[in-house]
A and B are shown apart, each in its own frame.
Chain A
């Protein structure tokens, strides 16, 4: 592992870094200049950055006029996916809705209609949330690859590794989705009619078995990735380079 490159930051950068740290900055943030290298590690909470706040050279600035955080534009989609996720439903129905609080423990409601009526019938939008969530791991993988650019060349730092793991974990969580498993092959009665769909279904079924684990690990890893890039961008420490 190569030692961290010496960095240089001005007072304005440090102030910006402080704003990043306390989380009030309306912009996406990146690890900034380190030595002579420019490392654009984009926090997954802001990816893809469609505003002009991210000043990372990406030309996806579709809503440059957006006055608020770039995260507000993107986070609703993965958030909808997680809120309607069958695993999370189990978790919050038990923990917060107390229906039931635990197995064989009386639930806290006099009447119960489950997801048969409004508003809980809306949980069935989950498959659309899946469609919306599918691009995110791909975009995050692209951002991780972009994170390998250092100045004019290529390199590999701890931040890049964290971004790659983040994209892989989110891929594993997204593609283990119950609704996705249905639309990609589970709807078939005769698998012999769709060998490719069967192949996809088998792989998704394996991921589905570990859906809860991937749900938590990917969620924690997103927060950890965001925290890491936030700290590097704030200049708290430098991103160690491996190559």
Chain B
């Protein structure tokens, strides 16, 4: 490695195994990691598998682990990485490798199928739903998700414990549940599902998902913890449960009433 070159330490292999391979390549101004991977693919390893699409941080395709940190390759500038050591690029580790930097993220699509759909309340007599901007703002944050699955990748609940994939939806889907649960028009109650099958309580709020989110969604503070508090209201808080019992007969509020 000279001042004009950089050593890219890129994982090559498939489901049966693999290893990191070094590529010394020219350093060019203004490049992101994905540019360098593409140059390696074009000039040194034509069969290098990499998933990408928009190159603008909006499609969520090029997720990888760069120097051990889950990031989008297209949003990671080479100039932001240490220049005196190789740049390590590996596949996201939570999901099985298909080939090189491409992983099988179908776990997420299976989890997506299990999210109960938006269930709007009946239309008012004039047939027009009305929403205040302040009610919409909260759930709009969650709509920014680009489904890069970096939050799923970094979440230790499934990253380090494969067996938990059967009982844990993961941060990406908790923001989807939060979006629906907090929607002012939705009348569905997904809290039993979150508690009993989606493993909300497995999250120990270490905020790694929030740290790696390229859209800067406050996953833990604005989605997971509010959902946990709603579950507490519905199941664990005796005072709120008593209140619910007294109020029985009124339309259940998905978030549970205040104390």
Interface of A toward B, CB cutoff 8 Å: 86, 89-90, 93-94, 97, 99-100, 103-104, 106-107, 111-116, 120-121, 124, 127, 178-179, 181-192, 197-198, 208-209
Contacts and interface: CB of A to CB of B under 8 A. Distances in A.
Contact of B203 (A114, A127, A187): A114
A189 B207 contact: no
Interface stretch (B41-49, B109-117, B223-231): B223-231
Nearest to A102: B208
A183 B204 CA distance: 21
Given A112-B202, A182-B225, A192-B184, 19 more contacts: A90-B204, A93-B204, A93-B205, A103-B70, A103-B206, A104-B70, A104-B93, A115-B201, A115-B203, A121-B201, A124-B232, A127-B232, A178-B229, A187-B253, A187-B258, A188-B258, A189-B135, A189-B181, A192-B134
B18 interface: no
B255 A103 contact: no
B6 interface: no
A118 to B, nearest CB: 12
Contacts of A181: 226
Contact of A186 (B68, B204, B226, B236): B226
B149 to A, nearest CB: 14
Interface residues of B, number: 50
Interface of B: 65, 68-70, 93, 132, 134-135, 138, 153-154, 156-157, 159-161, 164, 181-184, 186, 199, 201-208, 211-212, 221, 225-226, 228-230, 232-233, 236-237, 253-259
Binding site of A, secondary structure by majority: helix, strand, loop or mixed? helix
B237 A114 contact: no
B235 to A, nearest CB: 9
Nearest to A114: B202
Contacts of B208: 100, 103-104
A242 B177 CA distance: 55
B108 to A, nearest CB: 18
Given A183-B258, A187-B255, A192-B132, A99 B161 contact: no
For the complex of A and B, the 4 pairs showing the least CB-CB separation, nearest first, are A114-B202, A103-B208, A182-B229, A116-B201
12 contacts: A93-B204, A104-B159, A112-B202, A114-B202, A114-B204, A116-B201, A178-B229, A183-B258, A189-B182, A191-B132, A191-B134, A191-B184
Contacts of B154: 103-104
A62 to B, nearest CB: 25
Contacts of B157: 112, 114
Given A116-B199, A182-B229, A208-B221, A86 B205 contact: yes
Contacts of B212: 103
A103 B70 CA distance: 9
Contacts of B228: 124
Contacts of A100: 156, 160, 206, 208
Contacts of B259: 127, 183
Residue with the greatest number of chain B CB neighbours at <10 A, chosen from A97, A115, A179, A182: A182
